[in-house]
Structure 1
Amino acid sequence: MDPWCDSGWRYVAEVLAPADLPMLAAHALVAGHDSPALRELAGLPRRSDESEIRALYVAAMDELGLPLPDGVTAGRRLLVSLAWALVRGERSAVDVGGGLGWTVEADTEEESRFLSTAAEYSEWMGPERLPSWARELEAAARALCAVSEYGGGHTGCGAVTRAGT
């Protein structure tokens, strides 16, 4: 997985903080990506003006030929990412259930099942219900991962992208 290439949907879904973008850009340069806006973004401090960071990020993605997805696609990617994180043991069911603060539209039966099961979570869910809900969520996550067009929850860029080439 290339974190820069995978950042577009995370940016649109608002799970990637603007303060993290300069360091992400620096890592992208080390990985072989290159563009004027990417270099400028990599040189900014974390505490730079968020609007400047955002503008440079969008410009860098454009210069590298990496279009930002629409909100629906970003939301669907968020669902798949959370499902993969649960299946891989990287996040708990409670983390996933509490991680859907962003409005997400489901497009498939599997996405709908995962989303509706995750939405059942509440911090007031009793200990008698929590284990069965977690099993239901994991089953829904496995079903979603099995059919998702977003394999492994990541996009990848293919070949390293350089501006103007």
Structure 2
Amino acid sequence: MDDAFTLAWQYSAGLVFPEDLPMAAAGLLAAGIGGDSPALCDLAGRPGRGEPPVELTELLWQAMAELGLPVPDDGFVQRSLLHHTAARLVSGEITPVEAVAVLWSRIDERTTGAERRLAELVDQVCCPGCVDTWPVEVTRDWEREMRAAAVEVASAPDHRNATSWHRG
């Protein structure tokens, strides 16, 4: 069920687009998840493109209810995106500047110290392009701090069990 919940938070964060929901739902069904959910089966059978996004979204939320999973709230989505982006930064998949372009800077009341530190570093940049105007030494120091903060966030124990963050 973690895969279904992951799909829900990634959709809420804008990492999955409405037209991609049918294929994602089909992937869940193929993995043996949600076969008893009429809404998930309906969603998996939709073409995606040309479908009203509101209908696809409604089917996703209905499937979540049928699977007994909560719809992720904004704070959960923020923290999940922070951890997801930190892991991508640590793996070298993205640069610190690319991480800034992805992350939201809002802090949820449930945010840990490590999460708050990474968000504060993101807030030091008004936009990804402004980093190019910084002196080289300042940029290097900031990138080093971003990577160190990302390692701390990505290695946090609750990163591995993100569904525990949800109040649902």
The two structures have a TM-score, normalised by structure 2, of 0.81
Letter in 2 for 1:11: Y
Task: Tell me which residue corresponds to 2:166.
Answer: none
Unaligned runs of 5+ in 1: 156-165
**Alignment partners' CA distance in 2, 1:118 and 1:81:** 15
Letter in 2 for 1:42: A
The answer to whether the aligner puts 1:132 opposite 2:141 as a matched pair is yes
The answer to whether the aligner puts 1:30 opposite 2:27 as a matched pair is no
The answer to whether the aligner puts 1:114 opposite 2:118 as a matched pair is yes
**Alignment partners' CA distance in 2, 1:150 and 1:44:** 32
Task: Tell me which residue corresponds to 1:9.
Answer: 9
CA deviations on 1:115-160 (whole Å, 9 max, x unpaired) are: 0112223312236132221111001111222335122x865xxxxx
State which drifts further: 104-113 or 82-91: 104-113
How far off is 1:105 after superposition? Answer: 2.6
Q: Are the equivalent residues in 2 in contact too, given 1:36–1:60 (CA < 8 A)?
A: yes
Q: Are the equivalent residues in 1 in contact too, given 2:105–2:120 (CA < 8 A)?
A: no
> RMSD value over aligned CA atoms?
2.2
**Alignment partners' CA distance in 2, 1:21 and 1:144:** 28
Identity in percent: 36
The 5 A counterparts of 1:1-165 are: 3-33=3-33, 34=35, 35-47=37-49, 48-101=51-104, 103-105=106-108, 107-121=111-125, 122=127, 123-125=129-131, 126=133, 128=136, 129-151=138-160
State which drifts further: 120-129 or 47-56: 120-129
Letter in 2 for 1:139: A
Letter in 2 for 1:15: L
Unaligned runs of 5+ in 2: 164-168
How far off is 1:44 after superposition? Answer: 1.0
How far off is 1:16 after superposition? Answer: 2.3
**Alignment partners' CA distance in 2, 1:148 and 1:93:** 22
**Alignment partners' CA distance in 2, 1:96 and 1:66:** 29
